[in-house]
Chains A and B, each alone.
Chain A
Amino acid sequence: MSTVTQVDPAAPAGSTHPLEQRRPLGDRVFAIVALGSGLLVLVILVLIAVTTSQQAAPWFSSEGWKIFTNNWNPAANQFGALAFIYGTAVTAIIAIVIAVPLSVGIALLLTEVVPYRWSRPIVYVVDLLAVVPSVVWGLWGILVFAPWVQHIYASIASAVTGVPVLGFFFGTPTSGASFFTAGLILAVMISPIVTSLSREVIATVPAIDKEGAYALGATRWEMITGAVWPHSQGGVVGAVLLGLGRAMGETIAAALVIGSSATITSRLFAPGYNMPAVIANQFGEASGTFRAALMGLGVLLFVFTIIINVLARGIVERNARKKRGG
């Protein structure tokens, strides 16, 4: 703490000295404890990076750049992880493509359409989606949803076989537990957070802009595209990135419904694998380089999500500052 130049309101009455010298011991201890608790966040983040990288080092040193090949065969001591990185990207993108329009739609519904007394219950219901634990989504996904959706996949696949682009993405083989099932369940799981962040951003649009648009005779939709959207674009992009980070790291639901097959394929209805799922499923029986490889996947996941979150939070904060006029 630096020296106090102004009169500090917390200094005891009659004090002419800088605060530090007159402050009772307990007061200083409390300040230090509070500072320590704050610093704990930074300490934990650094420790995560250091300790997991240490554990993962044998993977990086034994495989080198081969970690980015598509060759995962623990029995033969080959640990190329490209299939998992690919699966993580594919499922997260499916989740985002489905969740974002729905979430922005709900956010607009809450802020621009329904009256206040209706918006509360809607928020509660959407938040319930986030309260249902990941493993329960997974349980439902594998025992109820996957068997049911399997037939739909099969009929779509047979309908599009031979069609140029559609066949490439939606053709056979199909399976109830697949990239697409995982993407759908992730979409449902991330929509509460994308909704609440978009809603916060959209709620900051000044009423005068909206009223101006209405005064010019705009319909509600024209008001949204003309007044709300330009104002909240940046913040919504931040919300989408945060949703992407969540979708990448969500583990247990994906581990149960993704199909557990380390393959790279364009077929979205085929079983696949992603990084968190392979860690969850295989870490228990892993040792040596195998364990290091799974730990390394955790490090990659940590790095990816940190980058995405820093970007997203940066965008959200810059947007909020711009609104305050700073």
Chain B
Amino acid sequence: MAVVSAETGRPDLREAKGWRRTKNRVMTALMVASFVIVLIPLGFVLFTVIAKGASVISWQFLTGEPIPPIVLPADVGGMWPAVLGTIEITALATLMAVPLGILGAVYLNEYGGRNWLAALIGFMSDVMTGVPSIVMGLFIFSIWVLHFGFSGLAGAFALACLMLPIVIRSSYEMLRLVPNSLREGSYALGATKSRVTATVVLPAAIGGIVSGALLAVARAAGETAPLLFTILTVTTANPNVFSGANTSLPSQIFANANQPYPGAQDRGWGAALTLIVICFILMIVARFVTARFARYQH
């Protein structure tokens, strides 16, 4: 407490003493401790996945096929069907969700402005980010799989539903950062609104938009629940993403995780390491894009 001391006439600016100081220090230590506590499981998971996965992963593991029955050891066959499936399905989902998400954000920021419809769409898209991924799987199952059967396309639909609100939110935040003077300058030159949006506003925000989209892709690539009832799980590679059952890395990890056979568990760890590497690369590229190309940042 800054008490004015009688002798010197100056306020006492020294650190508070006694119980107040102790409490302050304990609380600060607890804040640091909470960070350390969440670091422990992260470090533990990464260590285990790398330690157990690294010995399994080989060229044969990544590119061999088919995926063997669970009782066989991990050096038989390979995970190629799952690697291919993850790439196909995530890429297709990205092709659907990213353009639609960016256009949705363009509507919210450039066209909707402050009207009630834009407010409602913005609010509901935030709410949609909280819809459990398994519900997206059930939704695509009832609307698509029941009529057209299992396929990579169905899985991509489910992942796209998950990605859409994430892309809308991150793109919207980036469009909001583009200064109005840029828009006004282009209008003054006689450009139409679509032209201004496509050639001035979007290029100005593209760094942040791409980075947000990559983070959405990383999230979708690791999702299992929406794929369980939309692509099924097969053991041979299916290059045709539009028809026939498929498989993916997360589905394979899920299928192998609960098995007592060492071979199955090894395959699970190898697939987990592959998946984590894919997700981390996407995230690192996103950070790089933000740092290098984003003109406007928070």
Instruction: Identify the A interface with B (CB < 8 A).
Output: 9-10, 12-13, 23-24, 26-27, 29-31, 33-42, 44-45, 47-48, 51-52, 54-55, 101-103, 105-106, 108-109, 113, 122, 124-140, 142-145, 188, 191, 216-217, 219-222, 224, 242, 245-246, 248-252, 255-256, 276, 279-280, 283-284, 295, 298, 301-302, 305-306, 308-310, 312-313, 317
Distance in Å from the Cβ of A324 to the closest Cβ of chain B? 13
Return chain A residues, CB-CB under 8 Å to B117.
38
Q: Choose among B15, B21, B258 the residue with the greatest number of A CB atoms under 10 Å from its CB.
A: B258
Return chain A residues, CB-CB under 8 Å to B177.
none
Chain B residues numbered 133-160 whose CB sits less than 8 Å from any CB in chain A:
133-136, 138-139, 142-143, 146
Q: A45-B124, A52-B135, A302-B131 are in contact. Are A27 and B35 (CB under 8 A)?
A: no
Give Cα A224 to B134, complex, Å.
39
Partner of A135, one of B28, B30, B130, B257: B257
- Segment touching A, from B54-62, B73-81, B185-193, B238-246: B185-193
Interface contact tally, CB-CB below 8 A:
280
Distance in Å from the Cβ of B3 to the closest Cβ of chain A? 8
Which chain A residue has the least Cβ–Cβ distance from B27?
A: A221
List 15 additional A-B contacts (Cβ < 8 Å) besides A222-B24, A276-B225.
Answer: A9-B187, A39-B121, A41-B124, A44-B128, A105-B30, A128-B280, A129-B38, A136-B275, A252-B224, A255-B254, A256-B254, A298-B135, A298-B138, A305-B130, A306-B130
Describe B's contact surface by its main secondary structure.
helix
Return chain B residues, CB-CB under 8 Å to A145.
44
Give Cα A220 to B25, complex, Å.
9
Name the interface size band of chain B.
35 or more
Q: B123 interface residue, CB < 8 Å from A?
A: yes
Q: Establish whether residues B229 and A246, one from each chain, have CB atoms under 8 Å apart when the complex forms.
A: no
Q: Establish whether residues B131 and A306, one from each chain, have CB atoms under 8 Å apart when the complex forms.
A: yes
Q: A12-B190, A191-B38, A280-B225 are in contact. Are A309 and B135 (CB under 8 A)?
A: no
Give Cα A279 to B168, complex, Å.
29
**28 A/B residue pairs, CB under 8 Å, sorted by A:** A9-B188, A10-B196, A29-B194, A30-B198, A31-B193, A34-B110, A35-B111, A37-B101, A38-B112, A41-B124, A45-B128, A48-B135, A48-B136, A106-B31, A126-B38, A131-B279, A131-B283, A133-B279, A136-B222, A219-B15, A219-B16, A221-B28, A242-B130, A252-B250, A276-B225, A280-B225, A301-B132, A306-B130
